[in-house]
Amino acid sequence: MTDAIDLSALPERLRELVELIGVDATLVLAQEWGGSCLPSLRQLPPDHPLMVRLGPEVVGKLADYFGSEWPYIPSGAAHLRRLRDREIRAVYDAGGISADGLARRYRLSNRQVWNILSQVDTPVPRRRRYEDPRQLKLTFES
């Protein structure tokens, strides 16, 4: 799935991390530490989960970039969910797997798969304020 990621839709911090450490390491950070702050990266012990998962080279790059800051790592969950939904739609449209099969493959309920298939790539409507037709619209001229 890493080759289908639209980087422009990611949160700014994740785009920075992709440029710094690459897509795969950024995905690991977002999935495992997303929604939280990383500890100061300057002197992590070799058995720290960050060192084990990312390796000393990547952690070194992060330490140089963030210094003693405790950086917040966004999860990017909404973006990853949109990617998953598009992938589900593409597989279903290709005719390879039924909705039941997709539900098992992606660990979703059948109902959720059908919801995805009915809504994928449809722009999310922005919330509009209720407009009362009885009220006058005010326009200001400058």
**For the chain, domain boundaries:** 2-73, 77-119
Instruction: Name 30's Cβ contacts closer than 8 Å, sequence gap at least 6.
Output: 14, 73, 74, 75, 76, 80
pTM: 0.57
The tens digit of pLDDT for each residue in 84-99 reads 888 888 888 888 788 8
Q: At 20, is the pLDDT very low, low, confident or very high (cuts 50, 70, 90)?
A: very high
Question: pLDDT value at position 13?
Answer: 87
Distance between CA atoms of 61 and 19, rounded to whole angstroms?
11
Distance between CA atoms of 64 and 75, rounded to whole angstroms?
22
The tens digit of pLDDT for each residue in 33-67 reads 888 998 888 888 999 998 999 999 999 999 999 88
Question: pLDDT value at position 100?
Answer: 92
Instruction: Name 59's Cβ contacts closer than 8 Å, sequence gap at least 6.
Output: 41, 44, 50, 51
Distance between CA atoms of 12 and 62, rounded to whole angstroms?
16
